[in-house]
Amino acid sequence: MVAAPVEVGIGPVSSSDVVAVARHDAPVRVSAEAMDAVAGTRRHIEALAASDRPVYGVSTGFGALATRHIPADRRTQLQQGLIRSHAAGSGLEVEREVVRALMLLRLSTLATGRTGVRPVVVETYAAMLNAGITPVVHEYGSLGCSGDLAPLAHCALALMGEGYVRDARGERRPSREALAEAGIEPVVLAEKEGLALINGTDGMLGMLVLACHDLGMLFTTADITAALSVEGLLGTDRVFAEDLAALRPQPGQAAAAANMRLLLQGSPLVESHEGPDGPIVQDAYSLRCAPAVAGAGRDTLEHARRVAANELASAIDNPVVTLDGRVESNGNFHGAPVAYALDFLAIAVADLASMSERRTDRFLDVKRSHGLPPFLADDPGVDSGHMILQYMQAGVVAELKRLAVPASVDSIPSSAMQEDHVSLGWHAARKLRRAIDGLARVLAGEALTAARGLDLRASSPADATAAVRDRIREVVAGPGPDRFLSPEIEAVVELVKSGALVEAAESVTGPLL
């Protein structure tokens, strides 16, 4: 199915627009109003270029070289040289969806009419996105201040017909070849345009938007895996009661508790241990406090979404052309607001995964599993069951704890101390992407283990958790002698990442929070 077009105008694009363009190749079109604003602002830049007054980015050098006046006949060289020199990325290629997200966000800022570029720059940038041409961007090169410089410079280099891209088929090719095949004429940059193409938080913001989208689904998945574990470990759902959650009015916790009540509704396993003579006085924290941790993560996610929404509504450039025509230097390109949100999310991800791993471990220990065989093995001693699955989780959780160390508290001065404090927001975003992948793997391990535990119980699970267990059974067989476990884990990882487990639960409960 072809994604609906995304209109880029003077106002902000939405988070859903970013996901649609980045992941689903939604076409973009720039509104006529935006093109008029771009053309109008460009006239201010051309007037300044014709004057004798030095203006940063128009008639001066950059960074620590801003005191150098550049004569008119060398300003095209100035802009082209800026892009060539700043396209200094190194390391592995960045994922296609990240590059497309940052390109859309840079296009959105250009379309505000606050950067001073010509309409042809906007049109050509949009044409590259629509042709599926993705510049090759490398892992290292941004300090998260003065813009995501190297990543954006590689995109601008492709706009000039230089450097390398991936075409719509994913083949790495010289940019000029791919542009020619798509019927796109390379742009020769004029005054201010090189700077306008690289001075933004678009890379870290694009990754924040994608992360928020993924985590919304993963937090719901965490409620589902926790519910599976509560049942499989003969826990109670009384602790998730609405009136108990209301005693602590944290909105995320209330949402998580509501999900778990729905998921466990009518569970014969839970009901069989509800009476006053039940063998367990209080469940372990990893069961009883699941909504507190998943809820705190949700509240963190809501904060991050607010930061992302504010940044999506921003026009980040330096200098910027104001509504009344002034060209002013500013510090809006500093990535601190985005970097802090990215780091905060990494903390929430690590803690949520840590709790999930603890629930998995309880299934495997006969002293805590309430009657399940050691390691859920078919013939313990001959079979090892899920013993090493928990090792996998433990290794991931250990890595997530390292990834939770904030990048934004660090700073390495650059540009001869002109840029003496940076956000490292790009680095915060890169490690968060790895952390989210790890969280999906830990939740998949819990889901696979809990489903096996449920199968080993005599009573039936709730309708919703049974639907999740049955969805897992479509790709992984039930309990039995030891099998090659890695493919089974990966199959459930895919169910987690695709949202299939959430869909299975919601087929019974209706929409979860």
Active site residues: 56
The whole-angstrom separation of Cα 476 and Cα 464 is: 18
Q: Which residues 6+ apart lie within 8 Å of 367 measured at CB?
A: none
Cβ-count burial of 52 within 10 angstroms (0-12 exposed, 13-18 middle, 19+ buried)? exposed
Find all residues with CB under 8 Å of 455, minimum gap 6, and list them.
469, 478, 479
Going through 444-511 in order, the beta strands assigned E by DSSP cover none
Q: Is 52 helix (H, G, I), strand (E, B) or coil?
A: coil
What SS3 string covers 293-351?
A: HHHHHHHHHHHHHHHHHHHHCCCCCCCEECCCCCEECCCCCCCHHHHHHHHHHHHHHHH
Q: Cα–Cα distance between 343 and 2 in angstroms, integer? A: 34
Cβ neighbour number for residue 39 with a 10 Å cutoff: 13
Neighbours of 185 (CB within 10 A): 12
Question: Residue 314: which of 37, 106, 148 has the closest Cα?
Answer: 106
Residue 393 CA from chain centroid, whole number? 21
Strands 134-135 and 164-166: antiparallel
Contact of 450 with 386, CB cutoff 8 Å: no
Maximum CA extent, the chain: 90
Query: CA 59, 104, 145 angle in degrees (round to 5)?
Result: 50
CB 159 within 8 A of CB 133: no
